[in-house]
Structure 1
Amino acid sequence: MTEEEKKTADTGQQEEAKKPETSAEGTKEQKEEKASADTKPETEKKADGKEEAAAADASAKDDKKASFFKKNDKKEKELQDKIDALNDQLRRQMAEFDNYRKRTDREKEQMFSNGEANVIEKILPVVDNFERGFDTVQDEDKDDAFVKGMQKIYSQLQKELTDLGVKPIDCVGKPFDPSFHNAVQQVEDDTKESGTVAVELQKGYMYHDKVIRHSMVAVVS
């Protein structure tokens, strides 16, 4: 065998020896790639699972919040209904109390007015006696000090009655009105129409708009 043939044979043997190593290395790389390929889906699956769990957890939290706010809205409505009912009850009670206060004020005013009218009615006979006394005074005695003193007392009494709202009823020459007059006599008078008050026998008085004593009169027949 020549020198060249030996070299060629050695080179062939070396190449044959290298082939298994390359094949082994190729197999190793393929295994790693396959392992990597097998591992990657599992990682992605884990990531997807975490995302789904997070989404489910977020959805559960949202549902919990919605339920919480729904319960709060219901409680708030119930409280508002109670507040409205209490406010309505309070308004009714205030209206009732206001009506009660007005009614009691009217009753007090009426009681005071009736009491005052009763007192005035008892004073009127005193006024009548003053007037009867003045009617008996002779003209020559009108300047007497005693008569003048009595006239001053009478004038003061009349002023106080006027300030209280007491005024005499004007009746002479007026048509007879049973609301103000008490007819006790009929008279003949050609100068006046029938049914007209001819003579006042006793003065009548009014206390504000209320008659506390009717005028005693004689009426034309």
Structure 2
Amino acid sequence: MANEEKAPETEATEQAQQAEQAVAEEVTAEEQAALETDPLAEEAEPELQSVAELMSQLEVAQAEAAALKDQMLRGQAEIQNIRRRAEQDVEKAHKFGVEKFATEMLAIADNLERAIEAAGDDEAVKPMREGVEMTLNMFVSGLAKFNVEQVNPEGEPFNPELHQAMSMVPAEGVEANTVVAVMQKGYTLNGRLVRPAMVMVAKG
């Protein structure tokens, strides 16, 4: 009889133990799942991805900004070069715009000089020679107002940048490479040679 009365208690105890075991197993499974899927880790991973993406975007933006800056600097340099070339062209136009006109005028000066040489010392044509000389001087002075300067290097050392040697001649008492005669005067415009002086040079 005693055994029959304890049977229900034993059964209840077994059920309680089974329930406790089931709860323990459920808790263990939840802990295991929690360990496998850590919410902080899941939250941290997207944040790390977001930072990496931002850094990548920042690098791309910095590279684009550097390229645009370089392009801007190149553009500014090109504009400055264009402006400088334009200023130089304007300056050259002002300085050498009359070069062709001056070149044409040189023939007049040459003819006036030939007329003076042809007159010589003849007293009969002295008044005419003096008039031609006056005209030549006025003409040369007029050219000088436009920075057209005469090159008359007689007695000076030969300068290949301004003179053209027609011949080498022996000359006593004169240093070698000295201009002993000017066959045709030269001219410069603002320091630039328009026509070299045709000269004879002392032989060494």
**TM-score (normalised: structure 1):** 0.53
What is aligned with 1:218?
A: 200
Whether the 8 Å contact between 1:117 and 1:207 is mirrored in structure 2 is yes
Structure 1 residues 97 and 172, CA gap change in structure 2 (3 angstroms): same
What is aligned with 1:95?
A: 77
Q: Which of the two has higher C-alpha Rg?
A: 1
Structure 1 residues 130 and 70, CA gap change in structure 2 (3 angstroms): same
What's the offset of the Cα at 1:120? 1.3
RMSD of aligned Cα (Å): 4.1
What's the offset of the Cα at 1:72? 8.8
What is aligned with 2:127?
A: 141
Structure 1 residues 73 and 176, CA gap change in structure 2 (3 angstroms): closer
1:151 counterpart = 2:134 = yes
**TM-score (normalised: structure 2):** 0.56
What's the offset of the Cα at 1:182? 1.8
* Structure 2, unpaired ranges of 5+: 1-49
Structure 1 residues 194 and 74, CA gap change in structure 2 (3 angstroms): closer
Which residue of 175, 181, 186 maps to 1:193? 175
Structure 2 residue matching 1:160: 3-state secondary structure:
helix
Structure 1 residues 195 and 80, CA gap change in structure 2 (3 angstroms): closer
In the alignment of these two chains, the number of paired residues is 162
Which residue of 145, 162, 170 maps to 1:163? 145
Written as runs of structure 1 = structure 2, the 5 A alignment for 1:197-212 is: 197-212=179-194
Structure 2 residue matching 1:174: 3-state secondary structure:
coil
Distance 2:171 2:51 in 1: 97
Distance 2:129 2:186 in 1: 29
Structure 2 residue matching 1:120: 3-state secondary structure:
helix
Structure 1 residues 166 and 87, CA gap change in structure 2 (3 angstroms): same
Whether the 8 Å contact between 2:154 and 2:182 is mirrored in structure 1 is yes
* Structure 1, unpaired ranges of 5+: 1-67
Structure 1 residues 205 and 140, CA gap change in structure 2 (3 angstroms): closer
What's the offset of the Cα at 1:202? 1.0
Amino acid at match of 2:106: L
Structure 1 residues 158 and 76, CA gap change in structure 2 (3 angstroms): same
- Superposed CA deviations along residues 42-101 of structure 1, whole A, max 9, x for unmatched, are xxxxxxxxxxxxxxxxxxxxxxxxxx9999998788666655543432222111121122
Distance 1:199 1:143 in 2: 22
Which residue of 130, 148, 152 maps to 2:112? 130
What's the offset of the Cα at 1:127? 1.3
Structure 1 residue matching 2:99: 3-state secondary structure:
helix
What's the offset of the Cα at 1:108? 4.8
Distance 2:189 2:160 in 1: 17
Distance 1:113 1:190 in 2: 42
Structure 2 residue matching 1:118: 3-state secondary structure:
helix
Identity %: 25
Structure 1 residue matching 2:134: 3-state secondary structure:
helix
